[in-house]
Amino acid sequence: MELKADSTIGFIGLGVMGKSMARNLLKAGYKVVAYTRTKEKALDILDEGVVWLESPETLAKKADIIITMVGYPSDVEQIYLGENGIVHMSRQGTFLIDMTTSTPTLAKKIYSESKKKGLYVVDAPVSGGDIGAREGKLSIMVGGDQEVFDTLQPVFQVLGSNIVYQGSAGAGQHTKMCNQIAIASNMLGVCEAVVYAEKAGLDPTTVLQSISSGAAGSWSLSNLAPRMIGGDFSPGFYIKHFIKDMTIALNEAEQMGMMTPGLALAKSLYEKLAEQGEEESGTQALYKYWQ
C-alpha cells in the first residue's frame, strides 16, 4: 500500500471549506480534479488549475485519492453507495477519504462495502472552519485502518496541523460528535458573555482581551466573538449544517443511553434561528437570539 508520487486527487464538494482545501492541495503540487453540484461557484478555483469533471462517476475513474466534503449524510450515502457511487466506480486500490461530518454508522457501512471492492477508506471529519481550511490548519479526526491513515499522512499534512488517528471505522465521526457537543454549549456561553458585556456598558472587544486568554478561552471566543461584535454573520460554518451535526450527536447519545441537556438546548435555539431565516448564516449568528 503506497501513494503514487504523481497521485491525482479527486475532490467532491467545493463549498466554504472544500474550496480552500482543494486549493491547498493544488498549491502542494497535486493534480486536482473536482466535482461540485454548482459549477458556477467553483469557477475561480477552476481558473487556478483544478480540472472540472461532470460527475462523481467520472471523477472516480480518474482519481487515485478521492476526498469528499459535502453537506449531509444523505449526500455521502448517495455519492459513495448510490447506483453509480464511487465505491462501485473507483479502481481497486483507490483511497477514499470522507471529510464530511456524517454518522458513525454510515462510516462503518462505507468501510465495509469498500473493503469488498479492494478500496482503502477512512472517515476523517475536520474542525477549524473557514479559517482553518484556508490556512491548512484543520484538526483532522480519523477512523479506519492504521496503515491507511499512515499512508495518507502526506495528504492530511497539507490540510491540517492537528491530525489524530482515533481508531477503527466510525471513530473519526464519533470524535467529531465530541467536538460538536463541546462547541454547542460553548457557543451559548460565548454569546451570553458578549451580550452581558454590552448590557453592562462595557466595550466587548476590550472584555475579550481579558477573558480570551484566561480560563474562559476557546476557539469560538477568540475567532467568532469578534465576528459577533462586528456584525459579521457570514458562514465559516453554516447554521443548517451545525443543526445536522447536533441531530446526529443527539441520536448517537440517545442510543448510548446518555443525557445531553446542553446539546439539546443549543439545538433548540439554533432551530429557532433557522425558522427565522438564519440557516445560511454562520454559527456565530446565535448572538441574534438575544437581540
CA-closest candidate to residue 33, choices 49, 57, 52, 60: 52
Instruction: Return the C-alpha cell found at 209.
Output: 482581551
Angle subtended by helix axes 171-199 and 104-116, to nearest 10: 150
Query: Are 173 and 251 spatial neighbours (Cβ–Cβ below 8 Å)?
Result: no
Catalytic option among 19, 27, 176, 244:
176
Q: 137 catalytic, yes or no?
A: no
C-alpha distances (whole Å) from 239 to each of 1, 97, 222, 262 are 39, 24, 19, 17
CA distance 155 to 148: 12
Residue listed under C-alpha cell 487515485: 64
Helices (H), the chain: 18-27, 43-47, 56-62, 73-81, 86-89, 104-116, 129-135, 146-151, 153-159, 171-199, 204-211, 219-223, 225-230, 239-255, 261-273
Query: Are 34 and 63 spatial neighbours (Cβ–Cβ below 8 Å)?
Result: no
Cβ atoms < 10 Å from Cβ of 35: 23
At residue 158, the 3 state secondary structure works out as helix
Residues designated as active site: 176
